[in-house]
Amino acid sequence: MDPRQWQQPDPNGGYPPQQQPQYPPQQPQQPPQYPQYQQPPGYPQQPPPQYPPQYQQPQQYEQPQYQQPQQGSQPYSAVPYASQPYSAPPAYQQPPAYQQPQPDYLTPAPPVGDGGGRSKRFLWMLVASSVLLVVVVVAIVVVALNRGPDTPANPAAASSAQAGPVDKCLVGKWKQTSYQKLVDLTGTDTAKRGNLTKVKMNGGGKIWEIKEDGSAIEDDTNTVYSGKTDDGRTVTATWAGRTEWKVSTKDGQISYAGGEATTTVTISVDGTQAGKIELEPNLDPVKYTCNGDIWRTSSKDNDDDFSRYDRQK
């Protein structure tokens, strides 16, 4: 029936009874069933989830019952009730799916210890230390190989291995290239005539020839020394002659023995001859060093008194 059509009244003055609309029976709706959360294997059993206080488990929705309007004994005085289409209640809205709270799994802490980074740093430090040690050793070797023939502090270390009475380094022919000594002329007749005392002299020219058996010859044919007195006069000592020796070496010292001397020394003052001195052999041992082609001697009591000899080829 079209609800917009007027319903005809009953000829007896009344309206026919309104028919009750028929509705399909309502089925009670069940709340949705959610699958139970399965705990992953290997994890400890979690306690059952705790719902927030404000969340209420959905209740069964009750279908409202339609109430039939009361029919009065009096006819309607207004527009008769038209059969209107039934407006069903709003459709049931399914509550949002429950989100199972995820357990807060603790991220495993890194292992206690130095860690890979510290181990790598230690390895690099070890490698760098090894490289530095190698560089230092190489530098020491290079410096040792490039050292010049300086006079060593230990005379015995500078000398060659000794098999006979004399150091093998001394065997050969040597020429005196420098000489320095404080010469005491006091007590000689020449000193008295020239009024001479102590004079510091320099010079050279002496020749030494030493053999393996220790026999040696000291040749003073070309030996000349000179120096100045305290008052500024020049004193010259010109040597002549030769001396035969028997020498030996031990603990960095040269000892003299035997020796027949024919040596004389002529003393001149400012170019004028003052006299001659006949020398006696001096048997006092002297310190020495020998390094390749250089031989040095010095006094045991005064290091300022020395002689240097260069090897003659």
Instruction: Note the pLDDT tens digit of each residue in 251-288.
Output: 999 999 977 788 999 999 999 999 998 877 788 899 99
pLDDT for the residue numbered 91: 58
Q: What are the tens digits of pLDDT across the range 15-67?
A: 555 555 566 666 666 666 666 656 566 655 656 656 555 555 555 555 555 55
Three-state secondary structure string covering 95-124:
CCCCCCCCCCCCCCCCCCCCHHHHHHHHHH
Q: What are the tens digits of pLDDT across the range 87-121?
A: 555 555 666 666 665 655 555 555 555 555 666 67
Q: What are the tens digits of pLDDT across the range 221-235?
A: 999 999 999 999 999
Residue 93 and residue 32: Cα distance in Å, rounded?
A: 11
| For residue 135, pLDDT beyond 80 | no
Give the pLDDT mean for 115-141: 71
pLDDT for the residue numbered 49: 58
Do 81 and 69 form a contact (C-beta atoms < 8 A)? yes
Three-state secondary structure string covering the chain:
CCCCCCCCCCCCCCCCCCCCCCCCCCCCCCCCCCCCCCCCCCCCCCCCCCCCCCCCCCCCCCCCCCCCCCCCCCCCCCCCCCCCCCCCCCCCCCCCCCCCCCCCCCCCCCCCCCHHHHHHHHHHHHHHHHHHHHHHHHHHHHHHHHCCCCCCCCHHHHCCCCCCCCCHHHCEEEEEEEEEEEEECCCCHHHHHHCCCEEEEEEECCEEEECCCCEEEEECCCCEEEEECCCCCEEEEEEECEEEEEEEEECCEEEEEEEEECCEEEEEECCEEEEEEECCCCCCCEEEEEECCEEEEECCCCCCCEEEEEECC
pLDDT for the residue numbered 82: 45
Residue 79 and residue 254: Cα distance in Å, rounded?
A: 159
Verdict on whether the full-model pTM lies above 0.95: no
| For residue 190, pLDDT beyond 60 | yes
Residue 228 and residue 66: Cα distance in Å, rounded?
A: 153
Average pLDDT, the chain: 74
pLDDT for the residue numbered 278: 82
| For residue 84, pLDDT beyond 80 | no
pLDDT for the residue numbered 67: 55
